[in-house]
Every structure is written in structure tokens, then in C-alpha cells.
Amino acid sequence: MPLAGALRTVLAFPSTYSVGITSLGYQVVWATLAQRPDVDVRRLFTDQGDPAHRDLDLFGLSLSWELDGPVLLDLLERQRIPIWASERGDADPIVFGGGPVLTANPEPLAPFFDVVLLGDGELLLPAFVDALQECRQAPRPERLRRLAAVPGVYVPGLYAPRYGSDGRLLGIEPTAPGIPATVAKQTWRGNTLSHSTVITPEAAWPSIHMVEVVRSCPELCRFCLASYLTLPFRTPSLDDGLIPAVEKGLAATRRLGLLGASVTQHPQFGELLTWLDQDRFADTRVSVSSVRAATVTPELGRILARRGSRSLTIAIESGSERMRRLVNKKLEREEIFAAARYAKEGGLSGLKLYGMVGLPTEEDADVEATAELLLALRKATPGLRLSLGVSTFVPKAHTPFQWQGVRPEAEKRLKLLAKRLKPRGIELRPESYGWSVIQALLSRSDRRLAPVIAAARGRHDSLGGWKQAYRAVLAGEHEPAPSRSADTQLPPPPPWEEVIHTTWSPERVLPWQHLEGPLANNTLQHHAEQALRP
């Protein structure tokens, strides 16, 4: 029960309840706040919410997908909060955000946030709330300066971008003494990771208890945000972490989801599987997220089939051995075929593969190799249902390929795969090339994109709406905020082509360069050089 005078808080998710409540990250942040007696937190989704507070102290957003960012503005308006941070006064709540998108590159959305939390929430969120409680009666500028002193707390309004006469970003620097020049992502190194705090039949995955088996991934594929941004690779212990988390959830449901970028690389995953193979779990349905193909065994296929799974998911990235080496995918062709064979022998009926087109240096022959691999798999494992999910490469901050651009050839290569696979009975699930372009726009831009996001409101669910908004801001035809807002003083954004498709020089100042990820830029550049070396 919240105490009198508790911080009145709304924690929002930029999608519907069924989607938001399935987000393990959102659940954990909400539970962390709800367990504090000095915080009175309500939930808000695009289609519903808990009973609203009359006045707010805090408004938070959990963001895990770039394309959901513009929804923030609608959610703010529903709460009658000014959308531009520079327009908020002492009576307005502190608007904060977190999640992988904002940790990687918050700059496109920075003018809308008072605070961005960089990194894992286990320690960062309590430290943020404690600091705010200490200064909650102070004027707003003083509160923000106090929060900026907390490790991992980024206050965009206390930093200003500097541009050259050619429009090139020269740096993002503190505007006042005592503000740190850089802000470092915070990393949780405890023995336990996260698990569901809400189990509901209304979730996108109904009545599932989710348990985080690993965090990050030791493979370090050169494009992978989930690997590089969340380093180091962390695994909870079986007896003190995983089994208690599973037992807690199975007291309420018989559906279990094991999550992580590469769950089978937990050093005790085999023991966890054996434990779940006990007869007392006969009525439990177990599903796992993507697994590394080389770790698939007959035992894995057998136990998952016995526990209600129908298919297995592996990421191959490409059927081309050259491309797999280039992205550091440590996976041999024989291991892919073995994974399919073991899945079928174990009793699974399907194998879902994930790949990518448009990677640096990729040629049509590499895409043909992907089609040929799928067709050979189909022939080698008749009766096993195969599907290929394929996306366009999008550069992500804090990865070795952050300097690379989106390749326009990717669009025709998606069509090439469709032409080769669909007539042969292999399901192809391509992600839209057009939306990958918008995703790159949001992942690579700086604060000059904020007026575009504001201009795209009401039409951000169409590709044409984004392009029209960009052109309008570039031409100075859109006034996104009252003239007293500092955000209207930003220069126009750079040309569309430069942000999305151009490969940037390693010497270029990146929009996120003042925000420290797990690895320094020179290390990322070294990894990129290793990958792209002829």
C-alpha cells in the first residue's frame, strides 16, 4: 500500500495491453516501482490504463522498438503533459524513459524526455527514485541537476549539440559546470535475472510465465544490438536463480517461456532441461526463444516436444558461409543440418530460421546461397515444416556495424528469396524493407529528428507520412513547438540519404558518442575492420 505523499507515477507502454504486458522488461520496471511504498504507480497502454492520478510526479515509458517511439507524444497528450521537455514547468511531472532503444541512441527522442535511464534497471531505477525523493520539493531545474549526478541517468536538457557550418554534428556537451561530460550505461551483475510478475490470459502469449535464462550473448555477431549493448554475457545459477523463478511461476500457470538471446548457451541449460523432463511437469508447456544451432541436440528436441513445443527457432543470418564469417556467426553448414535433423528426430514438427539481407559486402550470390540452403534442408528433412523470417540489415548504435548504411539492394533481395522459396513450399516471412528504412532513420539520427517525429504525428503508421514530415521539416515548412522552445532552434536535419544509406567515416562524431556503452568506439572499429577485411 503506497504511503501518503508517495510519488504519483504512470508507467506507459507504447502499444496495447496484450503486447505491453507480455514485455518482460516492462513488467519488471512496473514491479520494481510497485513494490516501493513511496511510489504509487499506475499502468498506461494505448488501449487502456489503470485509474488515472489527478496530478503526476513521474511519467515513464518503456521502449524496446524504434518504431514505437512516436507513440510517446500521444501518451503525453493524454496525460496533458507538454510534449517538449523545455516547455514543462515545476507543476509538470518528470518524464523519463528506458529500454534498449533509448539506451542505444536516445537523441532522436531526447527533446521529449527530461530523463533517460541508460542500462539495466535493477540498480539504476531505485537509485533514480531515491535521488528524486531527496529533491522532489526543489524547483525543476534543481531536480534535473541532482538527477544528472546519478550514474546512468542522462538528462538531455543539460546537454547541447554543436553543429558545424556544413550541418555536421561536432559534439554533444554539458551546458553547465558539474554535469558529467559522458554518461555510462549501468550493468546489473547480480546472480539473478528477471521473470514474470504478471501472468494473464489477456497477454499476447496467454498465461505464460517468462524466465530470463541469459542476458546478452557471447557470440558477438557484428550487427547485433542484443549482444553488444548488453555485455557482458550473464547467467543466473540453476539452483539459486532459475529453478526458484520457474517454480514460482508454475504455481500459477502451466505455461513456461525461457527467454534470452541464446538460452542454450547457459552452462547449466542441459541440467535445466533434465529437471523439466520430470513427470511432475507432464502438463507443463515449455517454449524457448532463439537457440544457437550448434547447441541443438536430440535430447533438446525430445524434451521440448514432450513439453508441448512444436518448433525450434535458430538464427542463421545467411546461407552463405562467407557472410556468416563476415558477421562473426560461428556456425557451419553441417551444424544447421544437424539442428534440423535433431529437431525432427526429437518429435518437433517445425524449424524456424532467421536470416538477413543487405549486410555489408553482400552480393546476389550470397542471397542465392540462403535460398539453396533452405531448399537443401527441405530435401534432407522431409516432413519438417520450414519457415524463414528475413529482415533487412539496420545499423545499430554501439555495434561494429554502426557506421554502415542500409543498402537499397536489400529490397530486391527480399523479392529474390520470395521468388526462390515460396513456389517450393517454404514459408517466407519478410520484414518490410520500407519500415527497415524508417527504423534506421530512428536508430541513426540526432536531435534534429525530433521535429520530424512531431510532424509525423497522426501519420507515423505510413511510410509516406514519414517522408512527407521529413521533407516538410527539411524545407522549414513545419513549426513543431512554440518559438520559446529551444528545440525549434535546431538546424534542419541532414539529407535522408546521408542518415539512412551512407556509410559513415570512423572519424565522424556519432549522435550517441557522449553515451558510453560496454565497449569503446576504437574496440568496435577494430571488430568492424576484422569483419570487413578483404
pLDDT tens, per residue, the chain with 534 residues: 678 889 999 999 999 999 999 999 999 999 999 999 999 999 999 999 999 888 999 999 999 999 999 999 999 999 999 999 999 999 999 999 999 999 999 999 999 999 999 999 998 999 999 999 999 999 999 999 999 999 999 999 999 999 999 889 999 999 999 999 999 999 998 878 899 999 999 999 999 999 999 999 999 999 999 999 999 999 999 999 999 999 999 999 999 999 999 999 999 999 999 999 999 999 999 999 989 999 999 999 999 999 999 999 999 999 999 999 999 999 999 999 999 999 999 999 999 999 999 999 999 999 999 999 999 999 999 999 999 999 999 999 999 999 999 999 999 999 999 999 999 999 999 999 999 999 999 999 999 999 999 999 888 889 999 999 999 998 887 764 443 344 447 888 999 999 999 999 999 999 999 999 999 999 999 999 999 997
Residue 458: Cβ within 10 Å count: 12
Strand positions, DSSP E, 224-337: 255-259, 285-288, 311-317
- pLDDT recorded at residue 476: 82
- pLDDT recorded at residue 52: 86
On whether the CB atoms of residues 120 and 245 are closer than 8 A, the answer is no
- pLDDT recorded at residue 479: 61
What is the C-alpha to C-alpha distance for residues 73 and 66, in angstroms, rounded to an integer? Answer: 14
Domain extents in the chain: 7-184, 209-441, 442-515
- Tell me which residue of 315, 413, 314 sits closest to 359, measured CA to CA: 413
The domain covering 209-441 belongs, at the CATH homologous superfamily level, to Aldolase class I (3.20.20.70)
What is the C-alpha to C-alpha distance for residues 3 and 419, in angstroms, rounded to an integer? Answer: 62
Question: Which residues pair with residue 95 across a beta bridge?
Answer: 59
What is the C-alpha to C-alpha distance for residues 43 and 312, in angstroms, rounded to an integer? Answer: 34
Query: String of b and e for 355-368 (b: at least 16 CB within 10 Å)?
Result: bbbbbbebeeebbb
Which amino acid would we find at residue 186?
Q
- pLDDT recorded at residue 233: 95
What is the C-alpha to C-alpha distance for residues 108 and 100, in angstroms, rounded to an integer? Answer: 14
* Eight-state DSSP code of residue 383: T
Three-point CA angle 390, 392, 397, nearest 5°:
125
Question: Which residues pair with residue 525 across a beta bridge?
Answer: none
Fold adopted by 7-184: Rossmann fold (3.40.50)
CA 71 to chain centre: 16
Provide the pairing of β-strand 183-184 with 169-174: unpaired
* Eight-state DSSP code of residue 150: S
- Tell me which residue of 448, 444, 446, 441 sits closest to 487, measured CA to CA: 448
Query: Which run of H or of E encompasses 162?
Result: strand 159-163
Q: Which residue has the cell 524466465?
A: 211
Query: String of b and e for 3-29 (b: at least 16 CB within 10 Å)?
Result: eeebbbbbbbbbbebbbbbbbbbbbbb
Alpha helices (H) in 346-456, listed in sequence order: 364-380, 409-421, 433-444, 450-455
- Tell me the three cell numbers of residue 163: 553543429
On whether the CB atoms of residues 495 and 471 are closer than 8 A, the answer is no
- Tell me which residue of 24, 113, 5, 22 sits closest to 61, measured CA to CA: 113
- pLDDT recorded at residue 483: 39
- pLDDT recorded at residue 58: 98
On whether the CB atoms of residues 435 and 441 are closer than 8 A, the answer is no
- Tell me the three cell numbers of residue 412: 530486391
Task: Give the DSSP letter string of 487-515.
Answer: GGGSPPPPPHHHHHTPPPPTTSPPTTTTE
What is the C-alpha to C-alpha distance for residues 505 and 393, in angstroms, rounded to an integer? Answer: 19
